[in-house]
Chain A
Amino acid sequence: MVNKTRNNPSRSVVVGPGQKEQSADNDLLGKAFVRRESGRRQNLALMERTGSAKFSDCSEGVPPRAAAVSLLGEHIGKELRGLYAEVVAQPVPDRFLELLNKLEAGAIYLEEGTPKPEGMD
């Protein structure tokens, strides 16, 4: 049952947050958001787990909501690290390498009196 539920095709239609307004040339990070949809599958799996937790924990007098929140706590840590790691794993976009090359070559003229970035002391 679990596996069937995970294959539910309703989740193959993916419109992540902010996707609509993202341009095509912005797809690297956009794809990261889309891939976060895999997180939704984990949510689903988690719901399956919290569902079973409710029944078992009720008999032990643990409030079902507390059990669910505890499981969600574990889930949050995983999601958070996953979200971060996904972007970290992406190749460095050329625009940054070009920028650094220009800075190195002195091709970007930095105005005199450019304020020192805040908080750098």
Chain B
Amino acid sequence: MTKEEGSGGTGMKADLVSAIPALRAFAVSLCGNSDRADDLVQETLVKAWVGMSSFTEGTNFTAWLFTILRNIHYSDYRKRRRETADPDGLMAARMVTPAAQPGHMDFLDFHAALQKLPLDQREALILIGASGLSYDEAAAICGCAAGTMKSRVNRARNRLAELLALDVARVGEGDFAKARADVD
């Protein structure tokens, strides 16, 4: 991280460009919608540019950007829930559930399963399991203790395993057996 040129400098621009892929990956995993994800990244870049002076030299630049992105997502998420009168997130859940295809093997897509997790568990899982941040860094981003982060990751893993295992059990009893018979 270079910041010699201060807010608006070339060094900062280069740092932001190199952080964009990680920001997009975090955003997509978080909101499950690629349009929305890129809007989140865009807002994050602008806010980071403006607020560059509040970055603490020597700390993780990507983690700082993740914090900004996450805050934008949370405040929009609350706003949207109010606007759509969807307090239980039912509509959101339906939007990410793949349509059932009768007669076909209907495996639960990993991405859809991920989106079924509560937001706090999902972000914990992504930050720890995919982005390569430490528990301490992830906890700082989410404003919680490292121990809380660990328990969220555990709950998220268990819940995902349940969702995917249910699918295995269901398919295994019916369509899967049929499919095996078809190809044997």
A interface, CB within 8 angstroms of B: 1, 4-5, 8, 10-11, 15-18, 22-23, 26, 28-30, 32-33, 36-37, 39-40, 43-44, 46-47, 50-51, 65, 68-69, 72-73, 75-77, 79-81, 83-90, 92-93, 95-97, 99-100, 103-104, 106, 108, 110, 114, 116-121
Contacts and interface: CB of A to CB of B under 8 A. Distances in A.
Main secondary structure of the interface of A (DSSP, over half): helix
Shortest 9 CB-CB contacts between residues of A and residues of B: A29-B34, A84-B130, A117-B47, A87-B25, A118-B71, A4-B183, A88-B21, A79-B110, A120-B54
Interface stretch (B81-89, B144-152, B172-180): B172-180
Given A30-B34, A69-B162, A80-B129, A118 B25 contact: no
Contacts of B38: 29, 93, 95
Interface of B: 8, 10, 13, 16-17, 20-22, 24-26, 28-29, 32-35, 37-38, 41-42, 45-51, 54-55, 64, 67-68, 70-72, 75, 95-99, 104-105, 107-112, 114-115, 125-126, 129-131, 143, 157-158, 160-162, 164-165, 167-169, 171-172, 176, 179-180, 182-184
Main secondary structure of the interface of B (DSSP, over half): helix
Nearest to A72: B161
A84 B25 contact: yes
B21 A92 contact: yes
Contacts of A26: 34-35
Contacts of B171: 47
A95 B46 CA distance: 13
Contact of B161 (A10, A18, A76): A76
Given A18-B32, A93-B38, A100-B13, A46 B21 contact: no
Nearest to B42: A99
